Amino acid sequence: MSGLRALTWGLALLLPSVASATSLDLVTPADDFLKESGAPGVEVSVLERGKDRPQTLARGFACVENSVPMRADSVMKLGSVTKVFTGLRIRMLIEEGKLAEDAPLSRFVPEQVRGDEITVRHLLTHTSGLPEMLGLEPFASNMAHPWTPREIAAVIAKQPLDFAPGSAQRYSNSNYLMLGRIVEIVTGEPFDREIRQRIATPLGMRHLSMGDDETVVRKAACGYAGGKPGELKRPMMASLVPPMATGNLIGTSEDIVRLVNQGRVLRHNLIDSPPQGPWRLADGSPAVKPQHGPDQGLEFDQSLLEGMTLFRFDDRPLSLVGKAGMFPGFAAWFLYDPQTRTAVAVTTNLETKSMEAMRLGVRVLEAQRRAKAVR
């Protein structure tokens, strides 16, 4: 494998970029990411709010086995970045007067334990107390099976809550699975159609779609897990069917970065009006969780918002709004800097290098701050 890896990196550094004429240097940070992380490939896209043509770079390999180069239109699994889209569609329904943020979950899932205490707002902000669906049987021991979201929701509904709604904040995919069910019930349309017609198409996301286990996807990248240094492994088998609204979107970095223009589909949103501080719990206390990256250059606090996250870094004057996504074989990031009104999206086909991908995105946004200061 080591010989193949050496060939891979030799070729990766020779691959051309795909970028617009307004150039930040994306090549240096992207190549540094490939060398330091051992990832096969990466896509990086940058877009200022209100603009329509991202600057995009693709480096490395989409599929190592056949030396298929990564391209700007190589499609990857986006994992929990899907939650941004789910949160957007829910907020759109609220703005349209079709849904209330204090509507109880029991209205949509009558069998939900304590469902009359859980509101749409609790689901959006991970303060519902719903247990994590990935730890529930029969899904936990058989993630390769295409369980339907309705089957999973029925199991979640019978579980005791981890805490009283509103009293704590704990990340749980179950919240957004339920929100996806609410979208379908309120609109009478399949979730994927709602995302495609109401968000993806208006924002120009040409390659974005809901993934499944059967469709042959053109230009799909291969995903990998990390083994020993310098080696790659096949990722765990996991069906794309169960996650639905919580994590089954597929697309490119250019698709994700267009979330910077979400104000075109939602008047009151976290990009046009970024939060000034963390989410507050029912008792008024801030919901903040310290995070530490793989080195001292990436330490931050995070607070979960409505489909996104507020990141405040300890060692630099930087507060970003964004979202991380992981799915076996892949990692993805969307990050927005309110100071420069600029977003960056990073996708890579090595699942274990999410923090390194975040650091790449932060590095690009810091470069944009410097470039803006010079102008």
- Domain extent listing, the chain: 2-79+205-374, 83-193
pTM for the complete prediction? Answer: 0.91
pLDDT at 316 (0 to 100): 64
On whether the CB atoms of residues 14 and 330 are closer than 8 A, the answer is no
Mapped onto helix, strand or coil, the DSSP state of residue 233 is strand
User: What is the token pair recorded at 366?
Assistant: 């810091």
pLDDT at 35: 95
Query: Domain 2-79+205-374 belongs to what topology?
Result: Beta-lactamase (3.40.710)
Quick check: 39 and 60 in contact, CB under 8 A?
Answer: yes
Predicted confidence at residue 303, as pLDDT, reads 81
Mean pLDDT by 10-residue block, N- to C-terminus, for the chain (375 residues)?
38 41 84 95 98 98 96 98 97 97 97 96 96 94 93 95 96 97 97 97 97 93 86 92 94 98 94 82 82 57 84 75 96 96 98 94 94 78
Which tokens hold the place of 63?
A: 């599929």
In this structure, are residues 362 and 319 in contact, taking their beta carbons and an 8 Å threshold? Answer: no
Which CATH architecture best describes the domain 83-193? 3-Layer(aba) Sandwich (3.40)
Burial of 249 (0-12, 13-18, 19+ CB in 10 A): buried
Enclosing H/E stretch for 95? helix 82-95
Residue carrying structure tokens 């507050």:
280
Spatial distance between the Cα atoms of 168 and 154, rounded to a whole number of angstroms: 24
Q: Do domains 2-79+205-374 and 83-193 have the same CATH topology?
A: yes
* pLDDT given for residue 292 in this prediction: 56
Helix (H, G, I), strand (E, B) or coil at 289: strand
